[in-house]
């Protein structure tokens, strides 16, 4: 390594020069969370196309429903609040464009209905009747409690955190409500809550987790310098991968937040393996030789595992959903970047800052060797039984995993006593269900129906939908218009004309009716609870079926020129996230299949490659099989553990197999070769699992449930991966199937054996 000192010095210099840009990019990346699922799919995604069609007519469904104790239809301050939201400069961008697309309160809608009620003799609504028509929509069951509904525009969504804070402040300034008393719900609040919870979790637990990982690295490696190098390089790799996200113009999503722990686990694993190979040689061996031997021993398994994992992750780029494509691209890039950093900067660090391991409390080399050899002999004795159990666990676990259910509902992401869930509970109790399901009846210019006939049809559908379990009263134009009296046809025609002139603008303002050159569009809105157990997708399909069945009961002539559209922002988000989880599972299955192909090439045989995958699949099959057996729905946090667990399992397996094959030609039997591989790789595997598993487990204390489940799931999977590599893999190698894995060695020269304990005084950790 002496001949490479100038190059290694340059590598360190370049890394130091790049460090500020890496830190800045990583910080900006973590601040750029974008959890807006509607943007995750293209316009040709059918549910998105239906939703876009609805938005073109009635505006987007990105709303904030805002209320508080004492917000009633008699409170005149609500008028001032609505006016401020419409006109205040803080709610406009630098060009003066309004950041919202609409604002309406129950008090305002009630007043507008009252003003337009008496447009013809005999047609009117009393204030109580008008209030009753708006209950469950803008007025609560008590006829008094109301809300302000603010619809965000495209630019407003990009500033949602600032705008939501300003809305709370406006309620305080103009309605005298303390910011903590304002209750908010809606899709905007959902996405914002996820962003804030993710950021709060990182700010609260990232430092303790990092400190614990560093302390465990120090304890296991028994060298402060080695711990600083391994941990520092892992942090550098995490930062560089996040900086890559930022400098390429992307922002963090619900999937990309998994990048830091993925890179940390792989970087710590590779660093611990290489450092253990470095410490395998005696302290009296020149540092340059120790580094050279460590790299010679570890470069091949590190390169194979990184290439295999990167290829598997890159296969996710075939998904049609952008978050999965981005996760595949950046995780593959991060894995390869980590490989380059470990093989380049780790030797450079040890060249100019040699690490020495404290032997205080460390068992003598001979006893450690005997311990691993004893474990190899014990595994050999029970190899057939352990092989059957391992393969059986994979088969049964895989079968049970097929029954896994997924969930993306808001109440599965937050604890029952969290603020966002409490706000939803309060609003649904005092106003009504908060998840809208939208039906649009579009009558083009060919339709033979007059205004009253269309209104009757809308009223009929509204009544039918209100009978469906789990749905609230349907709000439509029929809810706001009194019934037409029985009058002569010539009088009725005039009444219809007056109705369109008088009520049309009112219905247009509250978003229940639109007229375009193509015809008229009538909106029906029913709602369901955000905290219930109903499946939004199935509920929307039921609404679609009810509408179709009801319309089919009318003569074909009546349905001429009539088209329907059924959608809703939360059902769309549910559909997108459900598709995300489905694609993620299928994409990981495809990635797993691709890794099997790569493994067969690395192991020079189909049977050998398939068998080598058993310990890699073992933790996934056992963990997800258990979840499938429980029948409890899993969220995206649990699904994402698969990528990290797969990476660490492949890494450890290839290290083990590399040393096994190196030892096999010089061993008397396979048991001796397995003992050699255990002796060289076992400590690093255990240290990696302890450092990363316990470090990630800190996040299990988070109130944000997807992060908590991800952390606990990762700790379990790392433990199972350790069992797979130290129990199942040796059993496969020592059992009847082991002959398939006893191919020609990858590297003809095994690493040097560790020297005996030196007689010189113990050297404290540097």
Please tell me the distance from the alpha carbon of residue 147 to that of residue 137, in angstroms, as a whole number: 9
Can you tell me the mean pLDDT for 211-217?
A: 91
Q: Are residues 582 and 673 in the same domain?
A: yes
Range of weakest confidence among 76-85, 225-234, 326-335 = 326-335
pLDDT in tens, 543-553: 999 999 989 98
CA dihedral 385, 386, 390, 392 (to 10 degrees): 10
**Does residue 224 have a pLDDT over 70?**
yes
Q: Are residues 539 and 590 in the same domain?
A: no
Within-domain flag for 235? yes
**Are the C-beta atoms of residues 454 and 545 closer than 8 Å to each other?**
no
Within-domain flag for 752? no
At 115 the pLDDT is 61
Residue 33 pLDDT class (50, 70, 90 cuts): low
Whether the CA torsion 179, 180, 185, 189 is positive or negative: it is positive
pLDDT in tens, 633-663: 777 778 778 777 777 788 888 888 888 888 8
Within-domain flag for 765? no
Residue at a domain's end among 569, 602, 617: 569
Pick the most confident of 250-264, 309-323, 528-542: 528-542
pLDDT in tens, 737-746: 877 766 544 4
At 521 the pLDDT is 93
Within-domain flag for 416? no
Q: Are residues 431 and 319 in the same domain?
A: no
Within-domain flag for 347? yes
**Are the C-beta atoms of residues 352 and 8 closer than 8 Å to each other?**
yes
Q: Are residues 205 and 149 in the same domain?
A: no
Residue at a domain's end among 127, 154, 185: 185
Within-domain flag for 214? yes
What residue numbers bound the domain in which 126 lies?
60-185
DSSP 725: I
Q: Are residues 626 and 734 in the same domain?
A: yes
**Are the C-beta atoms of residues 11 and 345 closer than 8 Å to each other?**
yes
Q: Is the model more confident about 465 or about 766?
A: 465
CA dihedral 43, 44, 50, 51 (to 10 degrees): -20
**Does residue 523 have a pLDDT over 80?**
yes
Domain count for the chain, please give it. 3
Q: Are residues 610 and 540 in the same domain?
A: no
**Does residue 751 have a pLDDT over 50?**
no
Q: Are residues 448 and 516 in the same domain?
A: yes
Which CATH number fits the domain that encloses residue 308?
A: 1.20.1640.10
**Are the C-beta atoms of residues 134 and 475 closer than 8 Å to each other?**
yes
Q: What percent of the chain has pLDDT over 90?
A: 30
Residue at a domain's end among 125, 150, 185: 185
Which CATH number fits the domain that encloses residue 553?
A: 3.30.70.1430
Beta bridge partners of 567: 438
Q: Are residues 147 and 220 in the same domain?
A: no
Q: Using a CB cutoff of 8 Å and minimum separation of 24, what contacts does 155-164 make? A: 155/93, 155/97, 155/99, 156/62, 156/99, 156/100, 156/101, 157/36, 157/62, 157/188, 159/99, 160/188, 160/191, 160/192, 161/192, 161/195, 161/196, 163/91, 163/99, 164/64, 164/188, 164/189, 164/192
CA dihedral 342, 348, 354, 359 (to 10 degrees): 10
Q: Are residues 707 and 684 in the same domain?
A: yes
At 398 the pLDDT is 86
Q: Is the model more confident about 608 or about 86?
A: 86
At 604 the pLDDT is 73
Beta bridge partners of 565: 440
DSSP 417: T
**Does residue 44 have a pLDDT over 50?**
yes
Pick the most confident of 132-141, 194-203, 236-245: 236-245
Closest to 751 measured CA to CA, from 411, 413, 293? 293
Whether the CA torsion 181, 185, 188, 191 is positive or negative: it is positive
Q: Are residues 110 and 137 in the same domain?
A: yes
Within-domain flag for 757? no
Which residues have CB under 8 Å from 129's CB, separation 6+? 482
Q: Are residues 547 and 581 in the same domain?
A: no
Tell me what the pLDDT averaged over the chain comes to.
Answer: 83
Within-domain flag for 37? no
Q: Are residues 200 and 133 in the same domain?
A: no
Please tell me the distance from the alpha carbon of residue 355 to that of residue 227, in angstroms, as a whole number: 9
Please tell me the distance from the alpha carbon of residue 242 to that of residue 441, in angstroms, as a whole number: 47
């Amino acid at each position: 390594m002496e001949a490479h000192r100038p190059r290694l010095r340059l590598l360190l210099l370049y890394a130091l020069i790049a460090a500020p840009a890496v830190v800045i990019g990583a910080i900006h990346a973590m601040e750029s969370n974008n959890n807006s699922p509607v943007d995750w799919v293209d316009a040709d995604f059918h549910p998105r196309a239906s939703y876009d069609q609805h938005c073109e007519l009635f505006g987007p469904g990105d709303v904030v429903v805002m209320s508080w104790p004492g917000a009633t239809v008699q409170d005149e301050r609500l008028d001032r609040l609505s006016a401020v939201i419409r006109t205040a400069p803080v709610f406009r961008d630098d060009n003066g464009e309004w950041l919202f697309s609409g604002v309406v309160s129950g008090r305002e809608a009630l007043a507008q209905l009252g003003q337009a009620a008496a447009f013809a003799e005999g047609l009117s609504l009393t204030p109580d009747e008008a209030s009753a028509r708006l209950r469950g929509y803008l007025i609560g069951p008590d006829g008094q409690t109301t809300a302000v509904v603010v619809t965000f525009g495209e630019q407003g969504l990009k500033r949602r955190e600032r705008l939501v804070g300003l809305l709370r402040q406006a309620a305080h300034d103009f309605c005298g409500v303390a910011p903590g008393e304002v209750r908010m719900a809606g899709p905007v609040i959902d996405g914002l809550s996820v962003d804030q919870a993710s950021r709060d979790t990182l700010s609260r637990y990232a430092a303790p987790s990092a400190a614990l990982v560093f302390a465990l690295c120090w304890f296991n490696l028994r060298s402060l310098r080695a711990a600083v190098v391994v941990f520092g390089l892992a942090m550098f790799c995490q930062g560089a991968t996040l900086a890559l996200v930022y400098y390429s113009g992307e922002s963090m999503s619900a999937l990309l937040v998994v990048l830091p722990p993925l890179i940390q686990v792989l970087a710590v694993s590779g660093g611990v393996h290489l450092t253990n190979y470095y410490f395998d040689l005696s302290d009296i061996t020149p540092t340059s030789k120790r580094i050279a031997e460590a790299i010679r021993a570890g470069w091949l398994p590190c390169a194979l595992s990184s290439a295999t994992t990167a290829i598997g992750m890159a296969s996710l780029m075939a998904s049609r959903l952008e978050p999965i494509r981005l996760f595949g691209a950046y995780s593959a890039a991060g894995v390869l970047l980590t490989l380059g950093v470990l093989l380049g900067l780790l030797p450079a660090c040890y060249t100019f800052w040699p690490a020495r391991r404290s032997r205080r409390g460390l068992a003598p080399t001979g006893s450690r060797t005997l311990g691993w050899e004893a474990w190899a002999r014990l595994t050999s004795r029970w190899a057939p039984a352990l092989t059957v159990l391992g393969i059986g666990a994979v088969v049964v676990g895989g079968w049970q995993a097929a029954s896994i259910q997924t969930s993306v509902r808001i109440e599965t992401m937050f604890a029952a006593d969290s603020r966002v869930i409490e706000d939803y509970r309060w609003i649904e109790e005092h106003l009504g269900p908060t998840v809208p399901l939208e039906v649009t009846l579009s009558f083009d210019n060919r339709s033979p129906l007059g205004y009253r006939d269309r209104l009757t049809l809308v009223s009929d559908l509204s009544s039918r939908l209100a009978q469906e379990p789990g749905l609230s009263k349907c709000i439509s134009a029929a809810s706001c218009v009194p019934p037409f009296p029985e009058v002569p046809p010539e009088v009725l025609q005039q009444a219809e004309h007056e109705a369109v002139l008088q009520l049309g603008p009112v219905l247009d303002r509250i978003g229940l009716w639109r007229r375009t050159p193509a015809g008229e569009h009538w909106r029906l809105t029913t709602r369901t609870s955000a905290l219930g157990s109903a499946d939004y997708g199935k509920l929307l399909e039921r609404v679609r079926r009810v509408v179709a069945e009801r319309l089919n009961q009318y003569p074909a002539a009546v349905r001429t020129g009539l088209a329907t559209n059924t959608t809703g922002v939360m059902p769309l988000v549910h559909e997108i996230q459900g598709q995300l989880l489905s694609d993620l599972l299928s994409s990981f299955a495809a990635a797993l299949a691709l890794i099997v192909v790569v493994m067969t090439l690395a192991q020079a045989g189909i049977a050998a490659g398939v068998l080598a995958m058993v310990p890699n699949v073992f933790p996934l099959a056992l963990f997800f099989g258990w979840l499938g057996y429980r029948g409890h729905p899993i969220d995206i946090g649990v699904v994402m553990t698969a990528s990290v667990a797969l990476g660490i399992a492949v890494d450890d397996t290839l290290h083990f197999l590399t040393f096994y094959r190196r030892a096999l030609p010089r061993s008397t039997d396979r048991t001796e070769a397995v003992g050699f591989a255990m002796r060289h790789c076992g400590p690093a595997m255990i240290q990696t699992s302890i450092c990363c598993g316990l470090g990630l487990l800190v996040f299990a204390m988070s109130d944000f449930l997807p992060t908590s489940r991800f952390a606990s799931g990762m700790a379990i999977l790392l433990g199972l991966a350790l069992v797979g590599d130290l129990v199942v893999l040796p059993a496969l190698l020592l059992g009847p199937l082991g002959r398939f894995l006893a191919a020609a060695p990858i590297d003809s020269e095994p690493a040097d054996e560790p020297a005996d304990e030196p007689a010189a005084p113990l050297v404290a950790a540097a």
